[in-house]
Amino acid sequence: MAITRKELKDNAKQALRGNWGWAVIVFLINAIIVGVLSWIGDFFALSLAISFLKLRDNQKEEKPYMAAFSVFTENRFVPECLNFILTSIFTFLWTILLIIPGIIKSYSYSMTAYIVKDMVASGKQVGATDGINASKELMKGHKMDLFIFDLSFIGWFLLGGLTAGIGLLWIVPYYQTAKANFYRHIAGDKFLK
């Protein structure tokens, strides 16, 4: 005996009747935990940008486990964390305004991690928005270039997905190294001085 979608929905409403408060709280707790873990994961991903920029610059960390946590080395945790938090907030706020401005701003801020890495390496004190402001300035006239660069990798990432993610073991390092090349090409050693 087949059940209709209407019956499924009616049964769900019946089960939730008198239990909406509980259901909303369970969802909120889960959403906050997943959101925080996702945010922490995104912050850890900054190590990829830093590690592959170092690889590109022939300064590779020989121990892969140290490279995987490079965001925590060389006194860069606080400046990377502050710039990351503010970049996330600014991008979110622009996205609330409209999706397209959010995407444009994410490209404006896209070089922040690289810039902060270079500033720290040169011994500069890095404030909470120094990397963000420098990235906005650096990306003037280059946002579309980076967007097209990212589009050129869509096929690779789809291929990686078709291999149950196994292909991503090679595709992500390829993408990260190419993106580090993009950064070094437009920034040169400007932030290392």
- Reported as a single tens digit per residue, the pLDDT across 168-177 is 999 999 999 9
Q: What is the pLDDT of residue 151?
A: 95
- Report pTM: 0.79
Which residues 6+ apart lie within 8 Å of 26 measured at CB? none
Q: What percent of the chain stands above pLDDT 90?
A: 58
Q: Which residues contact residue 55 at a Cβ distance below 8 angstroms, ignoring those fewer than 6 apart?
A: 177, 180
Structure-model confidence comparison of residues 185 and 97, the more confident one: 185
pLDDT, position 36:
83
pLDDT value of position 149: 95
What's residue 138's pLDDT?
Answer: 97
pLDDT at position 51 is 92
Position 111 scores a pLDDT of 97
pLDDT at 178: 95
| Tens of pLDDT, residues 13-57 | 888 889 888 888 888 888 888 888 888 888 888 888 999 999 999
pLDDT computed for residue 168 by the predictor: 92
Instruction: Name the nearest CA neighbour of 114 among 88, 77, 80.
Output: 80
- Summarised one tens digit per residue, pLDDT across range 64-114 is 888 888 888 888 889 999 999 999 999 989 988 889 999 999 999 999 999
Separation of CA 138 from chain center: 18
Mean pLDDT, all residues of the chain? 91
Listed residue (177, 86, 190) closest to 130, CA to CA: 86
User: In this model, does residue 3 exceed pLDDT 90?
Assistant: no
- List, as one string, the DSSP characters of 2-21: ---HHHHHHHHHHHHTTTHH
- Three-class secondary structure assignment of 50-117: HHHHHHHCCCCCCCHHHHCCHHHCCCCHHHHHHHHHHHHHHHHHHHHHCHHHHHHHHHHCCCHHHHHH
- pLDDT given at position 53: 92
